[in-house]
Structures are given as C-alpha cells and as structure tokens.
Amino acid sequence: METQLNLIPASEHPTALESQWLNAISPADFINNNKNFDVLMMKYRCAIREIQTKLEVLDDEFSAVNKRNPISSIKSRVKSPASIYEKLRRRDLPFTEESIVRNLDDVAGIRVICPFISDIYAIANLITSQDDITVLKIKDYIKAPKSNGYRSYHMIVEIPVFFTEGKAPMRAEIQIRTIGMDFWASVDHQLRYKKTIGADKDIEAIEAELLKCAQTVSETDCHMEEIKDMIGDFEKI
C-alpha cells in the first residue's frame, strides 16, 4: 500500500485563487492577525495521522491474514489558507479559527483508493465500527453519481485527538474510491480547469465526452468486480 501526504491537489505553483489571496493579504499580516492558525492546522494534520494510522493497521491486518490489500493507496492534505478563506468568504462567514472549526468539515482530507467497489463499502463499514470515530455525514456518489459522472464515497467523521492541553474533537473528510474513479476524477479536474477551452458548445461537447468516460470507468469497475467473484477465492473483509 502506498501512502502519500499533501497530494490533494498536487500543484507546485500557486493557483490563481492563492495568488489573489496572497496579493491581498501578506503572509506577515496573516500570521499577525491569526496567531493560532498554525496551531489549528497542526491539529488537523494530527487528525489525518490518527485516521491514516487506523486505515494502515486495518490494511496490514487484512494483508497478513488474507494475502490481499483492500487499500491500494492513501493520500491526504490540509486545505490551503487561500482555499479556506475563499470557502468562508463565499458563505459570508468570518475568517477566524472558531469559524473554521464550526463551519468547515473538509479542512482535513483523506483519500483512500481501493481495487474493487466492494472494498470501498467494506472500508467504510470498518471506519464506522471504530469506537472512537463518529460518522457525521455520508454522501454515496457511487450509487447516486453527480451529474458530471463523478463517483466516490464521502464520509465526514470526527475523531478525538489528544494534545498537552487536553482532548480535541477534530473533523475530517474521507473520500473512498476505486483506482478507476480516482483516475477519472483527477483527469476530469485537470481538463475542466483548462483556461484554453473555447465557446460554450465546445464545453458542452467536452462535458459529454467526460461523462461517457465516467460511464466506461464505472462499467469497467463493475466488470472487475464480476471477475473477482468468478475467481471465488478472494476473502471478504
């Protein structure tokens, strides 16, 4: 199983949003006006480590017992200050530590990539069964895909993290998807945000083709699941 940190999204250069934000607010001003922000981001990183460790333990156990990994890879990220600021601004909410904790569920993000669709639901059930994890919200975009073809299983969870000053409940978003779903979502994101896309009719044609690709990926996932069942010696989680 491959584990990667801070790879959602992967970008070496500031986005247009980040550039606008950095031009409007200097890093020095931001730190001076939000002295506890770094501490809060550290807490979100710790929440990611707590959840990621649980997932790695479950994957290692299953691999040792059944000689198969239900998790192909784990990626994680903490939202950038610019993204946090913009999300709060769109909702007319204050840019404060209290507002971030109260109103944003996806500052900490974990993406779990699985070989098969059945692994997705098995991992989701294992997460739910953890006695120190509270599942706050579930969105199943596999059974009910988005209109653009996006498929994934999303969970908002809360987990206690222990610090020197005591226990803090921290929220995180977990996205669970197959290798095919992750490939489609990654390429779709890159293509949709290209600034060279021309007229509206071109955009509609591109969206139609992306939707076809999403359907093809879904059909392939289902076919791979059928092949797995035909083999018959895959242990269930």
Dihedrals phi, psi of 171, to nearest 5 degrees: -100, 150
- Ranking 130-144, 159-173, 200-214 by mean pLDDT, the lowest is 200-214
| Between 14 and 116, the higher pLDDT residue | 116
Query: Band of the pLDDT at 27, cuts 50, 70, 90?
Result: very low
Sketch the domain layout of the chain as residue ranges.
2-231
Query: Band of the pLDDT at 7, cuts 50, 70, 90?
Result: very low
Mean pLDDT for 141-155 is 98
Task: Look at residue 142 in the predicted model and tell me its pLDDT.
Answer: 98
Q: What b/e sequence results for 184-198 when a residue is b if at least 16 CB atoms lie within 10 Å of its CB, and e otherwise?
A: bbeebeeeeeeeeee
Task: Look at residue 38 in the predicted model and tell me its pLDDT.
Answer: 87
pLDDT 10s digits, 213-235: 999 999 999 999 999 998 876 55
Residue 51 structure tokens:
């959840």
Q: Which of 225, 73, 223, 217 is nearest to 148 (CA)?
A: 217
Residue 157: left if φ>0, alpha if ψ -120 to 50, beta else—which one?
Answer: beta
pLDDT 10s digits, 60-88: 998 998 888 999 999 999 998 888 988 99
CATH code of the region 2-231: 3.30.460.10
Q: Which of 90, 93, 151, 158 is nearest to 130 (CA)?
A: 158
